[in-house]
């Protein structure tokens, strides 16, 4: 049994190193903290069990409730845009199964993460406990409002797309800190946007990659829609 487990672990380990080499370094991600996190966090633990074999493939994966976990490259790319140096307090909106959260938690000092769907939040929290992440704080609720009680943050990452960057989130940024989020149309046609807070209420926006993310719901996202 033990032996089988270790050969399974080394199978995933090998796939993970290959993922970082061919999907992430090859596409230009350079930040050593990001690369190290991608090399070590066991992505196969953060997907539904019947998806483990494809956890390291170059695409997003369905996690139920109409949600997906992002493609590995997009996780690395967005994390790099935050320009964390290690030691920060960071907010993530859209925990999902918690893969992106775990990447942030390997770099930052504390990660606060908010998930709308309570079943997903509970699954993620169980995984964080099982894998020994003790610097992640989880909440179920509307992340378009942020997590005011623990603000300000030295980085905010939103992993669902909205019509615009919610003001509530911008105001929970520390001066000099960055927020990264997909912004644009409801389902397809968004761009990753980075907003850097200057002094006071000045914000500097920049645009990056074209992406397709699941919608940010809640008060400052898209209203909940019936897609049938």
Name residues contacting ligand SAH, limited to 128-187 (CB under 6 A). Answer: 142-144, 159-160
- Nearest by Cα to 91 from 74, 104, 76: 104
Provide the 10 A C-beta neighbour count for residue 191.
15
- Report d(CA 30, CA 16) in Å as an integer: 17
- Report d(CA 55, CA 41) in Å as an integer: 12
Q: What is the dihedral of CA 23, 88, 130, 48, to 10 degrees?
A: -40
Question: How far is residue 113 from each of residues 30, 51, 185, 219, measured CA to CA in Å?
Answer: 25, 23, 24, 17
| Shortest reach from residue 61's CB to ligand SAH, in Å | 8
Burial (CB count <10 Å: 0-12, 13-18, 19+), residue 92: buried
Please say which residue, 69 or 179, places its beta carbon nearer to ligand SAH.
69
Residue choice 45, 57, 69, 195 for contact with ligand SAH (CB under 6 A): 69
| Shortest reach from residue 3's CB to ligand SAH, in Å | 31
Are 219 and 146 contacting, i.e. CB atoms less than 8 angstroms apart? Answer: no
Residue choice 56, 73, 99, 147 for contact with ligand SAH (CB under 6 A): 99
| Shortest reach from residue 33's CB to ligand SAH, in Å | 17
Name residues contacting ligand SAH, limited to 7-66 (CB under 6 A). Answer: none
| Shortest reach from residue 115's CB to ligand SAH, in Å | 5
- Piece in contact with ligand SAH (CB under 6 A), picked from 4-12, 13-21, 109-117, 200-208: 109-117
Among the listed residues 70, 106, 144, 161, the single catalytic one is 70
Residue choice 120, 127, 177, 179 for contact with ligand SAH (CB under 6 A): 120
- Nearest by Cα to 182 from 74, 108, 101: 74
Whether 70 is a known active-site residue: answer yes
- Nearest by Cα to 214 from 191, 182, 180: 182
Residue choice 19, 41, 127, 214 for contact with ligand SAH (CB under 6 A): 214
Please say which residue, 53 or 201, places its beta carbon nearer to ligand SAH.
53
Which residues here bind ligand SAH, judged by CB under 6 A?
67-70, 93-96, 99-100, 114-117, 120, 142-144, 159-160, 214, 216-218, 221
Indicate which residues carry an active-site annotation.
70
């Amino acid at each position: 049994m033990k032996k089988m487990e270790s050969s399974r672990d080394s199978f995933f380990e090998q796939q993970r190193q290959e993922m970082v080499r061919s999907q992430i370094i090859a596409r230009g991600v350079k930040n050593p903290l990001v690369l190290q996190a991608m090399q070590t966090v066991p992505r196969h633990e953060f997907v539904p069990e019947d998806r483990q074999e494809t956890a390291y493939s170059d695409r997003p994966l369905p996690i139920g409730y109409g949600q997906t976990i992002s493609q590995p490259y997009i996780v690395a790319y967005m994390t790099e845009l935050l320009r964390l140096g290690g030691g920060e307090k960071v907010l993530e909106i859209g925990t999902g199964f918690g893969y992106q959260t775990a990447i942030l938690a390997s770099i930052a000092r504390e990660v606060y993460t908010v998930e709308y769907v309570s079943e997903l939040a509970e699954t993620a929290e169980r995984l964080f406990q099982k894998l020994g992440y003790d610097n992640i704080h989880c909440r179920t609720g509307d992340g378009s409002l942020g997590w005011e009680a623990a603000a300000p943050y030295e980085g905010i990452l939103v992993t669902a797309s909205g019509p615009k960057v919610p003001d509530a989130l911008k105001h929970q940024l520390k001066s000099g800190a960055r927020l990264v989020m997909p912004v644009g149309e409801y389902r397809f046609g968004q761009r990753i946007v980075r907003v850097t807070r200057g002094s006071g209420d000045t914000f500097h926006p920049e645009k990056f990659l074209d992406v397709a993310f699941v919608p940010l719901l809640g008060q400052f996202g898209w209203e909940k829609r019936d897609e049938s």
